[in-house]
Amino acid sequence: MGIIAMLGLASAAEVSEGTRAPAFEARDQHGTLVRLADFQGKSSVVLYFYPKDDTPGCTAQACSLRDGFASIQSAGAVILGVSADSGQSHKAFAEKFHLPFSLLADPDKRIIGAYGVKMPLLGFAKRVTFLIDRQGVVRKVIRDTRTKDHDQQVLAILKGIS
């Protein structure tokens, strides 16, 4: 393993802008099966990865997206959050903070791995957001996430791709 991979600075598996988003399916906090393909041709997807439910940075990010939910929906996008937490953990987190979007449980880290956002050693997801257009192409990757106003960060980009 190279030093860059060991430090988690880059990964051969990282998904980049202009490529087709890796297909996935997972259950959300309600037990509903959600597939990326469900949105193709219908809406853009804000696919955001975060390390852990109910932690300060992850809560700030989720609440920002909650507060901007209507505007993001009006821009033609759905929001999907992904972490390695269980569906039960997601359910408690979503209820506690009144999150109106799906949180996908990825305990086996298949989606996290497919998008190349797994933190070395810890195995949690890195805080990275992928904006995927209606055709399933990654249009923007946000690695410099501003947790407290992530909704504004996302909206500024969505306006150009929806």
* Set 34, 36, 58, 128: catalytic member: 58
The larger pLDDT score, comparing residue 75 to residue 159, is at: 75
Mean pLDDT along residues 133-156: 95
**The residue to which tokens 């150009």 are assigned:** 160
The pLDDT of residue 159 is: 85
Does residue 6 have a pLDDT over 50? no
Domains of the chain: total: 1
Q: What sign does the CA torsion over 69, 156, 84, 127 have?
A: negative
Does residue 9 have a pLDDT over 60? no
Residue 99, in any domain of the structure: yes
Q: Is 58 a catalytic residue?
A: yes
Residue 142, in any domain of the structure: yes
**Containing structural domain, residue 57:** 25-30+42-161
CA-based nearest residue to 108, from 47, 23, 28, 26:
26
Tens-digit pLDDT profile for residues 45-73: 999 999 999 999 999 999 999 999 999 99
3-state helix, strand, coil in the chain (%, to 5): 35, 25, 40
Residue 145, in any domain of the structure: yes
Q: How far apart are CA 65 and CA 58, in angstroms?
A: 11
The pLDDT of residue 12 is: 40
CATH code, domain with 156: 3.40.30.10
Residue 15, in any domain of the structure: no
* Global pTM value: 0.91
Q: E strand or H helix at 25, and its extent?
A: strand 25-27
